[in-house]
């Protein structure tokens, strides 16, 4: 095994049932949110350090005998492929999946030995007779042969191995005592299981670390990050539901966003509440409400202000009507505004009353940047922000993203001047992981100046709504042991 750090996302018991009436919390009828929960896990893991492989420990389906099972497996597999790309997928079927071969075919995966960054994983598809599971002699021998190579081994299976589960239901293998001896003799580094929805461990027994994953289908929707480096193993339990009270997401888009995919304001609110937020701001691009899609995405509305000033394509009246019924103490309405080449902010005076908060953004610099040095671009950036913040926005969205969009480095010289502008105008700086470089140096400068911090999911798809763990973790890394709530901007 090499000394490279291997990071594996581990999850289990999705119990996906697309036909289930239970959409949020799972339950005996299965979890209709299974595909979304898997996507949330992989996105959360990506934004919190990334990963090298995904391990799924069985019961992907709630009932593999249902007519829609093949389609449900295909939906899960497509989600994993989209979110994990070419990362390795280690897959164990569970008793609820019923047909292991169908599971492996859907994911183009297989059991057996997998080597990733020098670590050997033994993926075991134990066969079930009803609810009873027995480890085959062939699989026991496979472990012995693998251990003979002298490499540490991680074993994956559906049923838990240790500690004992006291229950009338047969959680453990029928030959569990033999398996425990096998793992001790093979000097197994870790044993990963699911099936027991409460989860257990990590706990060491006879030299091996045993971990049982909680069910992803059940609140608080737990998963884990496994890190292996040489003979060292680190294990971090995570949950999708937030445990930090009082958090607001001040930047979530709606069905009116050209950049949105299958979202609505009502669904965003439901997800935000379910995943533990105190409140959410439905914040829409004002120029998208004034312009056609092509003019916005080309940035023409910045270069040609008459495009947003004209009422020819305005959808503001429709946005007003749709949002009016959603506003309440835990839901605020926001508009995301920009600065055009004339120094105007992309919001008509008569529409200012639509928004409880204004979120400023620099998606394009008003002036042409071709031929400018990095220093000159930095000066143009600060000038655009000075105009924007002078208008009286509450939050500066994705503060440094425009440099990424221009494929230019962000000059560190802009950090302190921008933080000073934010402090002088009492504008919050947004932590935003949607294509935005969250530079710790910039946010340290903001905190030094007393600038409030806003958390923005920048929701464009439902799996992003209420998903603020990366933001919380990043802010905690800046604040140290301090309570983060006093640092946060929240709408009045």
Report the 10 Å Cβ neighbour count for 486: 8
In which order are the strands placed within the sheet that holds 248-252?
248-252, 279-285, 331-337, 357-360, 395-396, 428-432, 453-456
What is residue 26's predicted lDDT score, i.e. its pLDDT? 45
What is residue 482's predicted lDDT score, i.e. its pLDDT? 84
Is residue 213 helix, strand or coil? coil
What is residue 435's predicted lDDT score, i.e. its pLDDT? 86
Beta-bridge partners for 210: 191, 203
Beta strand segments in 136-257, E: 153-156, 190-193, 200-205, 208-212, 222-229, 232-239, 248-252
Task: Indicate whether this model's pTM tops 0.85.
Answer: yes
What is residue 337's predicted lDDT score, i.e. its pLDDT? 98
Contact residues for 20 (Cβ-Cβ < 8 A; gap 6+)? 29, 30, 31, 32, 62
Is residue 266 helix, strand or coil? helix
Is residue 348 helix, strand or coil? coil
Q: Which domains does the chain show, CATH number per domain?
A: 6-239 (3.60.21.10), 248-487 (3.20.20.140)
Beta-bridge partners for 156: 123, 192
Is residue 124 helix, strand or coil? coil
What is residue 84's predicted lDDT score, i.e. its pLDDT? 97
Mean pLDDT in each 10-residue stretch from start to end of the chain (492 residues)? 83 92 54 96 97 97 94 98 96 95 96 94 94 95 91 94 92 95 95 96 94 96 95 94 95 96 96 97 98 95 95 95 96 98 96 97 92 93 96 97 91 96 98 92 97 98 97 95 93 86
């Amino acid at each position: 095994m090499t000394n490279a750090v291997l990071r594996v996302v581990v999850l289990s018991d999705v119990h996906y049932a697309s036909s289930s009436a239970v959409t949020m919390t799972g339950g005996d009828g299965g979890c209709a949110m299974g595909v979304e929960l898997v996507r949330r896990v992989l996105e959360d893991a990506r934004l919190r350090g990334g990963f090298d492989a995904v391990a799924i420990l069985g019961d992907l389906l709630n009932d593999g005998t249902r007519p829609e099972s093949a389609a449900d497996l295909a939906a899960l597999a497509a989600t994993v492929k989209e979110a994990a790309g070419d990362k390795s997928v280690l897959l164990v079927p569970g008793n609820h999946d019923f047909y292991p071969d169908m599971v492996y075919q859907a994911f183009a995966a297989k059991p057996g030995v997998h080597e990733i960054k020098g670590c050997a994983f033994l993926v075991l598809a134990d066969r079930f007779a009803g609810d009873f599971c027995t480890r085959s002699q062939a699989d026991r021998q496979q472990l012995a042969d693998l251990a003979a190579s002298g490499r540490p081994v991680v074993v994956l299976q559906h049923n838990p191995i240790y500690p004992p589960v006291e229950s009338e239901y047969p959680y453990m293998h029928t030959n569990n005592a033999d398996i425990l001896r096998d793992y001790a003799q093979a000097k197994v580094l870790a044993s990963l299981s699911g099936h027991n929805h409460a989860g257990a461990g990590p706990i060491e027994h006879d030299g091996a670390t045993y971990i049982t994953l909680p069910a992803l289908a059940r609140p608080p929707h737990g998963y884990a990050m496994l890190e292996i480096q040489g003979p060292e193993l680190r294990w971090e339990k995570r949950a999708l539901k937030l445990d930090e009270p009082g958090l607001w997401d001040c930047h979530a888009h709606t069905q009116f966003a050209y950049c949105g995919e299958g979202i609505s304001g009502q669904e965003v609110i439901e997800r935000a509440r379910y995943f533990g937020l105190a409140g959410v701001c439905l914040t829409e691009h004002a120029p998208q409400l004034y312009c056609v899609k092509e003019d916005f995405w080309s940035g023409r509305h910045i270069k040609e202000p008459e495009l947003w000033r004209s009422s020819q394509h305005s959808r503001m009246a429709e946005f007003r009507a749709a949002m009016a019924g959603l506003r309440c103490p835990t839901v605020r309405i926001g508009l995301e505004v920009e600065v055009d080449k004339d120094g105007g902010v992309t919001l008509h005076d008569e529409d200012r009353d639509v928004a409880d908060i204004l979120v400023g953004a620099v998606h394009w610099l008003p002036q042409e940047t071709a031929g400018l040095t990095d220093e000159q671009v930095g000066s143009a950036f600060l000038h655009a922000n000075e105009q924007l913040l002078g208008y009286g926005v509450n939050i500066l969205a994705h503060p440094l993203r425009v440099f990424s969009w221009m494929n230019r480095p962000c000059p560190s010289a802009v950090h302190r001047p921008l933080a000073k502008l934010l402090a002088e105008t009492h504008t919050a700086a947004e932590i935003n992981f949607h294509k935005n470089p969250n530079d710790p140096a910039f946010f340290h400068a903001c905190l030094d100046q007393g600038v409030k911090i806003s958390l923005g999911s920048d929701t464009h798809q439902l799996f992003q709504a209420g998903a603020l763990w990366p933001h919380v973790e990043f802010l905690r890394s800046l604040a140290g042991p301090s309570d983060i709530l006093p640092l946060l901007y929240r709408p009045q």
